[in-house]
Amino acid sequence: MARSISTGWTGRMGLTAFVGLVGIASVLAEEIPDTPGLTNVRRQGWVRFTLNSGRIVVAGSRGVNFSHSGSMVRGRGETLSVRVTGNEPLVKYEITTPTQRFRLDASAGNRLQLGRFPEGEHSTVVRAEFVQNPNEPVALTVGPKDHERVYRAPTIWHLFLQEPAAAKEHLAPLLKILLREFDFAEAAKEIESNLVHTAGSGALPDRTHWAEWVRQLGDPSFANREEADRKLRASGRMVVSYLQRLDPSGLDAEQNYRVRRILQTLSGLRNEESPTQVATWLSGDPAVWLALLAREEESTRRVALKWLETILGGPLAFDPGADLPTRQKQIEAIRAKIHEE
C-alpha cells in the first residue's frame, strides 16, 4: 500500500478509518458499487462536487496530496489519488468488484469522466460512461463498444429531459456516487412538470422585447444601452438560450461585448438547481420543448408546441394529435430547422 500526504493534513486523514472502510464495501449490494475511499475524501472536505447550471463542478482544499492503493481481496480492490493545486483538484479513483468496475477521473477546468464497466464473464452490468469537458456538450455512452449508443446534450438536465429512459437507468447511478443529495430522475420529473405548468399558464416569454433590447445594446445613447443591459439581465436565465442563439456577425462590437458579459453573468449563477429554478432557466431553450413534443401525453405536446412557436417566432408544422410515425417525422423537420437558424 502506498500513501503520501502533504504536510499539515496527516492528523485529519484518519488513515485507519479510511482503510477500514474498504472492507465495508464487501457486504453492500453489487447493483451500485460502494465507494468508501471517495466517500471519505468527500467527508473530509478535500474534494467537493456540486452542480451548477446542469454541470458538475469540482473543487478541493488547497495542499492535499494523497494516494491509496489496496491489494485485491476476494475480487475487490480500490485505488485513489487526490492532488489539489490552487483550488483545482486532480482526482483519479477506481474501485473493482467481482462484477463491475467504477472509475472517476476529474481534472482542472471541471473536466470529468465517470465510467461503470462489467467485470467477469457473468456480469450483467451494462457499460456506461459520462464525459464532461469545458465548452462542449456532455456525453453519455451506453453499451459495449461494438454496439454503443452515444447521447449528447448541453447539460445534464438536458440529457434527462431529452433521453429520460437512458439517463434514469445509466446516468443517475453514476451521478449519485458524486452527489448523494440529488435524486436526478425525480428532479427531472419535477423540472418537466414545472415547464408544462408554466407553458400551460399562458405566461409566454416576450421574444419581441428581447430582440428590441438586444438592438438597443448598440444604441448611440449610453443610457439606453445601460437600460437594455439591465432589462436583459433582469429577464434571468430564461433569456440565456435566446442570447446564445444570436448570430455574432449580425451584431456590432458593442452588442457582442455586452451579450458576452450578460451570458457570463447569467450562466455563472450558482445555487439555482432547484426544479423550479432549473425550469425557469430551461424554458427559453427550444431543444427542451422539442423533447417535450415527443411525450406520450397529447396535452404536454400541445403546450410544448405553443411555447416553441413563441420562442422560434412563428407557426410550426406539427400536429399534436397525429400518429407516432407522423409526429416523429415532423419533430425531425423542426429539429433540422432549429439547427439551420
In this predicted model, what pLDDT tens digit does every residue of 171-185 receive, in sequence order?
Answer: 999 999 898 888 999
| CB-based contact 286:241 (threshold 8 Å) | yes
- 3-state percent helix, strand, coil for the chain, nearest multiple of 5: 50, 20, 30
Same domain, 226 and 301: yes
Please check the confidence at residue 298 and state whether its pLDDT lies above 80.
yes
Q: Which of 152, 182, 212 is the last residue of a domain?
A: 182
Parent domain of 171: 10-182
Determine the average pLDDT of the residues in 320-341.
91
Same domain, 264 and 309: yes
CA–CA gap between residue 82 and residue 91 (Å, rounded): 5
| Residue 99 forms part of a structural domain | yes
Task: Determine the pLDDT at residue 204.
Answer: 58
| Residue 238 forms part of a structural domain | yes
| CB-based contact 47:58 (threshold 8 Å) | yes
Query: Phi and psi for 85 in degrees, rounded to 5?
Result: -110, 125
| CB-based contact 65:81 (threshold 8 Å) | no
DSSP, res 205: -
Total domain count for the chain? 2
| Residue 164 forms part of a structural domain | yes
Same domain, 145 and 235: no
Q: Which of 133, 151, 182 is the last residue of a domain?
A: 182
3-state secondary structure of 100: strand
Per-residue pLDDT tens digits for 96-144 = 999 999 999 998 878 999 999 999 888 999 999 999 999 899 999 999 9
Task: Give the lowest-confidence range in 62-71, 104-113, 320-329.
Answer: 62-71
Query: Phi and psi for 320 in degrees, rounded to 5?
Result: -60, -20
Same domain, 237 and 310: yes
Task: Give the lowest-confidence range in 7-11, 229-233, 307-311.
Answer: 7-11
CA–CA gap between residue 102 and residue 116 (Å, rounded): 5
Q: Which of 182, 210, 232 is the last residue of a domain?
A: 182
Confidence of residue 89 (pLDDT cuts 50, 70, 90): confident
